Amino acid sequence: MKVTVKCFSTLADADTCDYKDSTPYELEDGETVTALTKRLNQSPENIKLVFVNGKQAEMNSVLKDGDQVGLAPATGGM
């Protein structure tokens, strides 16, 4: 299945997860946001906010084909 992901602030990296354009990733059926973060070489502890299709989600949320994922770190006051 294919999902797209955007990373914000300190999580952004032009090669793996950009904030300007969604980066496509192929995942196995049933994979979670946590599995996606491992593919991005991001530590789940560095991620404060997760959005799937524009709605707040959890790290253990199971992703589906076509999902749009947004990841953000803790920032001032979070």
Residues 27-42: tens digit of each pLDDT? 999 999 999 999 888 8
Rounded mean pLDDT, 37-56:
92
In order of their start, the domains of the chain are 2-72 (3.10.20.30)
* Contact criterion met (CB below 8 Å) for 23 and 5: yes
First to last CA, the chain: 33
Categorize the per-residue pLDDT at 59 as very low, low, confident or very high, splitting at 50, 70 and 90: very high
pTM higher than 0.75, yes or no?
yes
Sheet containing 68-72: give its strands across. Answer: 23-26, 2-7, 68-72, 49-52, 55-57
